[in-house]
């Protein structure tokens, strides 16, 4: 499954015009998919004529999916009429009765995003719709990686710093590290970075600020690693809502292919939103029984939140800190999986990082720790599946089929 189908899709609308009962049923199943929680799906019984009549009266959505039994020149003419009723930027996907390479090339050349052959599967539709919607938001290829702790005090912020540093410096990926904790957070301490603005101001800039404003809240650590650190407001100030914070994340993801999010100081609503959006999740726990119990509960909640999907790594932190730790074999049995990494209890290394304001990854004594994170960093950044990433289509991708059809007719 491609990266863009492993997270919540952006708010949008998709209209189906279906002729076949099987296509109608598949479209309605898709509407119930967890990834479509913010996508309005409208299913109409009828083909291209129904679509033309609809958009002669109402505004067109981001994506139109039209089923046809006729692939003659008459259908092509009707497609031109449909384009004339749609707003610029609307994408069209056609579902047809047979595999015809010449027709496919003609339709794509005219600006149609894709041509699918009936019967279509839920996966077929999911892939083509997700690609269209993500392309429109300018987020294609960007990955949101969320790090969340099983409980407080397990080292979520510290691990977020390690992971972002590993992705940036080991895999040379342009990486953004950010949190939403505001003044209670400590994300920038190990980098010697002070907040550039209060949390509410940072979120406001994400929604309505200029490009210069956005540049002002971003602080560069190295060639590949940057941070957004907010704070300065009173500790008891209410946090911005999940919608506002997501708008900020969307803005950042337009420029950074990997965004590592420390969720330790986020509100539950923001945590749920970011976990739903994430391409990869890392859950941090200690090997102590209370933390492991919370971790198991949290993993079940994440699995339910994401419709049974589980692109999650577990990190056991502070191993060796106590003689009362749960044994490794019992941890595996409790969590029903092997941890992605086990980080030893090394207070001298981590305290030195915060005291000196230098990333732990720069400490030679932490070389083995950083090496142990390479597997998680590879999966989180997408480096493990880099060869399978899809490129944007030439031509029709973001303009929709209206402008291309107009050019074709001219």
CB atoms closer than 10 angstroms to residue 46: 15
Which residues sit opposite 94 in a β-bridge? 66, 115
317's tokens? 């932190």
Peptide bond before residue 16 is cis, with ω within 30 degrees of 0 = no
- In this prediction, residue 99 carries a pLDDT of 86
- In this prediction, residue 1 carries a pLDDT of 38
- In this prediction, residue 61 carries a pLDDT of 94
Identify the residue whose tokens are 């299913």.
43
Q: Would you call 34 exposed, middle or buried from its count of C-beta atoms within 10 A (0-12, 13-18, 19+)?
A: middle
Q: Say what the pTM is.
A: 0.74
Identify the residue whose tokens are 């019992």.
330
- In this prediction, residue 2 carries a pLDDT of 42
CATH 3.40.50.2300 spans which residues of the chain? 6-138+392-409
CB 157 within 8 A of CB 167: no
Inter-axis angle of helices 73-85 and 401-409, nearest 10 = 120
Q: Would you call 235 exposed, middle or buried from its count of C-beta atoms within 10 A (0-12, 13-18, 19+)?
A: exposed
Sheet containing 39-45: order of strands: 39-45, 12-18, 63-67, 91-96, 114-117
Of 6, 8, 2, 1, the closest CA to residue 249 belongs to 8
Whether CATH 3.40.50.300 fits 143-388? yes
- In this prediction, residue 403 carries a pLDDT of 55
Q: Are strands 341-344 and 312-319 parallel, antiparallel or unpaired?
A: parallel
Q: Would you call 77 exposed, middle or buried from its count of C-beta atoms within 10 A (0-12, 13-18, 19+)?
A: exposed
- In this prediction, residue 384 carries a pLDDT of 57
Q: In tens digits, what is the pLDDT along the chain, a chain of 410 residues?
A: 345 677 778 888 999 999 999 999 999 999 888 888 889 999 999 999 999 999 999 999 999 999 999 888 888 899 989 999 998 889 999 999 988 888 888 888 888 999 999 999 999 999 999 989 888 766 666 889 999 999 999 999 999 999 999 999 998 889 999 998 888 888 888 888 889 999 999 999 998 999 999 999 999 999 999 999 999 899 888 899 999 999 999 889 888 889 999 999 899 999 999 999 898 999 999 999 999 999 999 999 999 998 877 678 999 999 999 999 999 999 999 998 999 999 999 998 888 777 777 788 888 888 999 999 999 999 998 875 544 443 444 444 444 665 555 444 43
The architecture (CATH level 2) of 6-138+392-409 comes to 3-Layer(aba) Sandwich (3.40)
CB 312 within 8 A of CB 282: yes
CATH 3.40.50.300 spans which residues of the chain? 143-388
- In this prediction, residue 344 carries a pLDDT of 95
CB 331 within 8 A of CB 339: yes
Of 343, 300, 312, the closest CA to residue 7 belongs to 312
């Amino acid at each position: 499954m491609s990266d863009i189908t492993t997270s919540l899709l952006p708010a949008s609308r998709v209209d189906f015009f279906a002729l076949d009962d099987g296509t109608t049923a598949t479209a309605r199943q898709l509407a119930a998919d967890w990834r479509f929680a913010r996508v309005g799906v409208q299913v109409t019984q009828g083909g291209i004529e129904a679509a033309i009549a609809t958009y002669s009266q109402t505004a067109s959505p981001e994506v139109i999916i039209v089923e046809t039994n006729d692939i003659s020149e008459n259908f092509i003419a009707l497609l031109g009429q449909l384009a004339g009723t749609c707003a610029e930027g609307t994408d069209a996907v056609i579902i047809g009765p047979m595999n015809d390479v010449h027709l496919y090339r003609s339709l794509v050349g005219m600006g149609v995003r894709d041509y699918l052959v009936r019967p279509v599967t839920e996966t077929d539709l999911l892939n083509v719709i997700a690609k269209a919607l993500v392309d429109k938001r300018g987020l294609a290829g960007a990955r949101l990686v969320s790090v969340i702790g099983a409980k407080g005090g397990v080292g979520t912020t510290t691990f977020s710093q390690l992971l972002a540093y590993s992705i940036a410096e080991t895999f040379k990926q342009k990486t953004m590290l950010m949190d939403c904790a505001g003044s209670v957070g400590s994300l920038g301490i190990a980098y010697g970075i002070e907040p550039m603005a209060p949390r509410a101001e940072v979120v406001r800039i994400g929604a309505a600020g200029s490009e210069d404003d956005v540049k002002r809240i971003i602080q560069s650590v190295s060639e590949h690693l940057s941070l957004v650190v907010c704070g300065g407001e009173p500790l008891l100030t209410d946090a911005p809502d999940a919608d506002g914070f997501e708008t900020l994340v969307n803005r950042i993801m337009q420029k950074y292919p990997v965004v590592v999010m420390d969720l330790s100081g986020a509100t539950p609503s923001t945590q749920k939103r970011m976990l739903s959006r994430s391409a990869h999740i890392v859950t941090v726990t200690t090997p102590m029984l209370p933390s492991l119990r919370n971790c198991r509960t949290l993993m079940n909640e994440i699995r339910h939140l994401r419709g049974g999907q589980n692109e999650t790594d577990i990190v056991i932190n502070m191993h060796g800190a106590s003689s009362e730790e749960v044994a490794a074999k019992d941890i595996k049995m409790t969590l029903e999986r092997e941890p992605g990494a086990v980080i030893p209890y090394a207070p001298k290394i981590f305290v030195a990082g915060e005291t000196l304001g230098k990333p732990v990854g720069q400490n030679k004594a932490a070389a083995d720790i950083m090496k142990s994170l390479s597997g998680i960093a590879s999966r989180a950044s997408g480096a493990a599946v880099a060869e399978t990433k899809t490129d944007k289509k030439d031509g029709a991708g973001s303009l929709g089929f209206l402008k291309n059809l107009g050019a074709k007719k001219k």
